[in-house]
Amino acid sequence: MSIQIYKPNSKNTGSAFTFSKSKDKKTGKPVFYISAIAQYSWNEDSKTGSFSGNSKNPEKTINVKISEIEAGSFLSCFSSRYEYTAFHSYDNSNTTIKFTPWDKKQKISKYDSNSKGFVDMDIEVPAFGITLSKGKGNSIKIALDPGEVEVVKKLFEIFINDYLNYEIHKAESYSSASKSKPNTASQEEERVDDFEDAPF
């Protein structure tokens, strides 16, 4: 299950982010990835951006695996609107994940009783910015509108729920396996008694 958000622009500085929840092929454990790719080109005629040209460029793509605790931290900063940064270090490579709240100005039309008509006005809406940085100077950013924030939050919540259910099932399976083993407590007690007179 994944959510893809594309934000190209005419300056060719846009990006595309993918938030994906899946399962580890070996263990079945829920995993979560955030992937980002920088915009490759802009078509002025069609007003569309392209990303595929950067798909194999390691300087223009970043992929990070998110833990369940980080997912919870991201949910917390979304809800309480504070900046949160997570750091990853793997194979001599450092990656930073930064979530930053910002108040985006948005135009709306509102009925004005004085003029008896609709007037345009600016309001501020709770948006968020996400920045993935890898190594030195390689950063990819995207701005999330309020609706996009809510959808990403839901995916984080699903991931955390799936992770907890996985851990509960694993614990129950371990408990069942332990109960099926013969009780050796009395034998252990006897062995301890046998060693009471040992010189060590």
pLDDT in tens, 113-166: 777 777 788 888 899 999 999 987 789 999 999 999 999 999 999 999 999 999
Percent of the chain residues past pLDDT 70, beyond the cut: 87
pLDDT for res 76: 97
The answer, yes or no, to whether residue 194 has pLDDT greater than 70, is no
pLDDT class for 182, splitting at 50, 70, 90? low
- For residues 111 and 195, what is the distance between their CA atoms, to the nearest angstrom? 89
Query: What amino acid occupies position 127?
Result: A
CATH 2.30.31.10 given to domain 2-179: yes
| Average pLDDT across the chain, whole number | 86
Residue 173: band (very low, low, confident or very high) from pLDDT cuts 50, 70, 90: confident
Tokens of 58: 């390691």
Model pTM greater than 0.85? no
d(CA 90, CA 70): 16
Close Cβ partners of 7 (under 8 Å, ≥ 6 residues apart): 14, 15, 16, 142, 143
